[in-house]
Amino acid sequence: MAPQGLGLSDLKTRIIAPTLAFIGLGGPAAINLLAGIALAETGCRALVQNGGGPALGLWQMEPFTHDDIWATFLPAPRQSAIRARLFALQAGWPIGPDRATQLIGNLPYACAMARLKCYRAPAALPAADDAAGQCRFWKANYNTALGAGDVDPQHVALFAQAIEA
């Protein structure tokens, strides 16, 4: 369980697994990866990046990344089913001037968007029980070279914790 934050087991079973199943991109590897990303990015404790942004939500997605997924990936005809499911996940009330603000308070939507960022990565998902591989995937494809994270024992341990939750 993440200290002073959302319980990791609850996050996996009540948010991540059902959300990924709903959008058709689930499975143990994806569930563990998304749990590990939430731990690595925020410790499951913050909804806005320290200092006020720009990254938003447990998965710390920047509005530019969010908007790019909508502009360059989701319009493709073959993505119509995923697009429809994302519309269904959106809250019926506005919480800000644009759709990206839903990353803050709408956990299923934020989870789905984080999964789409991973889905677009050129690399295959590591095995569900490969903490080091999931950490490397996160750093290369989610946190990127510009992010503050690293593939080190501390971050690998977070992905191991996510696998065990």
Give domain limits for the chain.
8-164
Q: Which residues touch 161 (CB under 8 Å, ≥6 apart)?
A: 8, 36, 39
- Residue 1 pLDDT more than 50? no
Report the predicted TM-score, pTM, of the whole model to 2 decimal places.
0.93
Q: Which of 15-29, 92-106, 120-134 is predicted least confidently?
A: 92-106
Mean pLDDT, rounded, for 105-111 = 95
Per-residue pLDDT at 26: 97
Q: What DSSP state is assigned to residue 56?
A: B
CB 36 within 8 A of CB 135: yes
List C-alpha distances in Å: 75 to 68, 79, 90, 150: 11, 7, 17, 33
Measured distance CA(34)–CA(94) in Å, rounded = 25
Domain 8-164 sits in CATH at 1.10.530
Dihedral (C-alpha) 62, 64, 69, 70: value to the nearest 10 degrees? 120
Per-residue pLDDT at 2: 42
Measured distance CA(118)–CA(137) in Å, rounded = 9
At 80, is the pLDDT very low, low, confident or very high (cuts 50, 70, 90)? very high
